[in-house]
Amino acid sequence: MTFKNGFLWGGATAANQYEGAWNIGGKGASISDHCTCGSQSSPKRITPVLEKGTLYPSWEATDFYHHFKEDIALAKEMGFHVFRMSINWSRIYPTGLETVPNEEGLKFYDNVFHELSKAGIEPLVTISHYEIPYALVEKYNGWYSREVINCYIRYCKTIFARYQDNVKYWLTFNEINSGTLPLGAVLSLGTVKGYCGPIADVPDEKQIRYQGLHHQFVASAKAVKIAHDKYPHFKIGNMSIFAAKYPSTCNPDDVLLCQKRMRDMNWFCSDIQVRGYYPCYAKRFFDENNIQIVKDSGDDKILRDGKVDFYTFSYYMSACESADPAIVEQAGGNIIGGIRNPYLKSSDWGWQIDPKGLRYSLNEIYDRYQIPLMVVENGLGAFDRLEEDGSIHDTYRIDYLRQHIRQMAEAVKDGVDLMGYTPWGWIDVVSASTGEMAKRYGFVYVNKYDDGTGDLDRLKKDSFFWYKNVIESNGENL
Ligand code: BGP
C-alpha cells in the first residue's frame, strides 16, 4: 500500500465561495462580498452598494449555510476522512472590531462541526480564506495596518476556545503568497480601499503588499504560538500556492531567473512561516524594489516562536521562465507569471496541466522543510454538461485527478511524508478568480447558474463514484 494508514482523503471548500447567506445570522460584509463581479480579464472596482453583476454573485454562493446537513451526508457517502472548510471571520466578528463575538455565527459552526463529527469526518479549518471583514478594509486598508493583527488574534482566540474539542487541524491564511502576485493580492491582503483589481497600478504597491504580508506573518506566528501553548493537541499549518517553475532552456540566465522566481513566488512566505525568519535573499529583493518593512522590536522573536507544524499547498499548474524578452513576448503569459510550456496542455481557463510537476513540487518542498505535507487544493475547473437524466459524465476530471494522484504516489515512494489530499471544490462553488459558477470543480454538481437561476439541487457526477472508490481502496483503485 503506497499511501499510509490514516491518510486524510477528503475535499476542500471555503466560506467565501460556498457558504452564501452573506447577510444572514448577524454576519457582516466581507471583502469577498464586495468583489465578486469582476473577471480575470476585466477586474472591477468595488461597488459601494452591493449590486448584482452579470455573473452569479458569491454572496449566495452554493448555499452551504442552508445545505450543510445534506452536503456532509454526501461527503460521508464518498467516505471522506477530512473536510476542508473555512470560518467566515465576518460571521464571528461582523466588522472585525467588536469585543463580543456574534453568538449566532458561532452557533452555525457548532452545528456544522457537530454534523461532521456524527459523520466521522475531521474538519480542517482555514481561519482566513480570501476573507476579511470589509469594515477593516474601510478603516485600516486591511492588512496594511498593524492594527488588524489584534483583530485577527481576537478572532483566533474566540474560535480556538469555542471549537477546541471539535477541530484539530487549522491553517492560518489561505494562499498567503497570493499577496505577492498582482492578481489575488486584494482578496488576501484586503488592502487598497474601494478597489478589487490587481494592485499593480496602485502607487507604492510593492511596499503595501510586503508590509501587509509582514503583518500576516506576525499574525500567523502569534496564532501558532497561542495554539501550541494552550491547545497542544492542535496541528496548525501554513497554506501557499505552489506552482512549479522550470527554466525554459539550460541557458544559465534562464536557470538563475527561474531560481529567483521560485523564491519570489513559491518560497518567500513559507520560508518565514516554516523556518521562523526572513530568508537570506529577502534583503536584496527589498533593496532593489525599494521596500522598507516596518517591524516592531519583538517581531523577529514572534516569527521564531510561531513556526507551523505542517506545510499545505494548492497545486494547479506550473510555468516556464525565460530571461529572453523576445521569447517571453512570443510564448504568451501564464496566470501565475512566467510563460507557457509547449509540452503541456491547458484547461479551458488556460491553466497548464502538469501532474508530474506535482511530484517535482512535493519532493522540492519536503527536501527543504522536512515537515509533513498536505495537498489541500488541486483539481480541474471545467464546463460540465448536465444530461437530461440528471447525470454528468466528467471523464476529463477523473482523468486529471487520476494522473495527479499517481504522481502523489510516486512522491510518497520517493520518501515524501504526505498527510492527505483534499481536491478543491469537491462540490461546485463560485470561482475565486472569475466569480463564475460556470467554472466547476466538483464531484457534486450544484444546480445554479451565472444568471442566478437554478434550484441549488445537488447531483452526483461520474467522478463522485470514482472518488468514493479511490478513498475506499486508499488510492489503489484509480
Ligand atoms: C485557489 C483558491 C480557491 C479556489 C481555487 C480555484 O487559488 O484558494 O479559493 O477558488 O484557487 O480557483 P478558481 O476558483 O479561480 O478557479
The interface predicted TM-score (ipTM) is: 0.98
Per-residue pLDDT band for 43 (boundaries 50, 70, 90) equals: very low
Q: Number of C-alpha atoms within 13 angstroms, CB side, residue 49? A: 1
Answer yes or no: is 1 within a domain: no
Most ligand 1 atoms within 8 A of CB, residue of 431, 436, 450 to mutate: 431
* Pocket of ligand 1 contains residue 58 by CB under 6 Å: no
Answer yes or no: is 231 within a domain: yes
Ligand 1 centroid–CA 314 distance in Å is: 9
Q: Does residue 461 have a pLDDT over 60?
A: yes
Answer yes or no: is 477 within a domain: no
Count the domains in the chain.
1
- List, for residues 327-381, the tens digit of each pLDDT value: 888 776 666 778 999 999 999 988 999 999 999 999 999 999 999 999 999 999 9
**Residue 142: DSSP 8-state:** G
Q: Which of 19, 60, 175, 410 is catalytic?
A: 175
| Cα 115 to the center of its chain, rounded Å | 24
* Pocket of ligand 1 contains residue 220 by CB under 6 Å: no
For residue 455, give the CATH number of its domain: 3.20.20.80
Q: b or e along 52-89 (b: 16 or more beta carbons within 10 Å of the residue's beta carbon)?
A: eeebbbbbbbbbbbebbeebbebbbebbbbbbbbbbbb
- What pLDDT sits at residue 202? 62
Active site residue 131: no
Answer yes or no: is 398 within a domain: yes
- Domain region containing 236: 8-472
Answer yes or no: is 364 within a domain: yes
- What pLDDT sits at residue 100? 98
Answer yes or no: is 2 within a domain: no
Q: Quickly count: other Cβ atoms within 10 Å of residue 50's Cβ.
A: 17
- What pLDDT sits at residue 59? 76
Answer yes or no: is 438 within a domain: yes
Ligand 1 centroid–CA 432 distance in Å is: 5
Q: What angle do CA 204, 185, 277 make, to 5 degrees?
A: 85
Please compute the mean of the pLDDT values over residues 437-464 and round it to a whole number. Answer: 93
34 or 260, which is more confident:
260
Q: Quickly count: other Cβ atoms within 10 Å of residue 193's Cβ.
A: 14
Q: Which of 363, 369, 265 is nearest to 307 (CA)?
A: 369
- What pLDDT sits at residue 132? 92
Answer yes or no: is 210 within a domain: yes
Angstrom distances, CA of residue 307 to CA of 219, 279, 281, 304: 12, 14, 19, 6
Q: Which of 122, 377, 410, 436 is catalytic?
A: 377
Alpha-carbon distance of 266 to 177, in angstroms, equals 7
Active site residue 175: yes
Which neighbouring-strand residues pair with 352?
Answer: 346
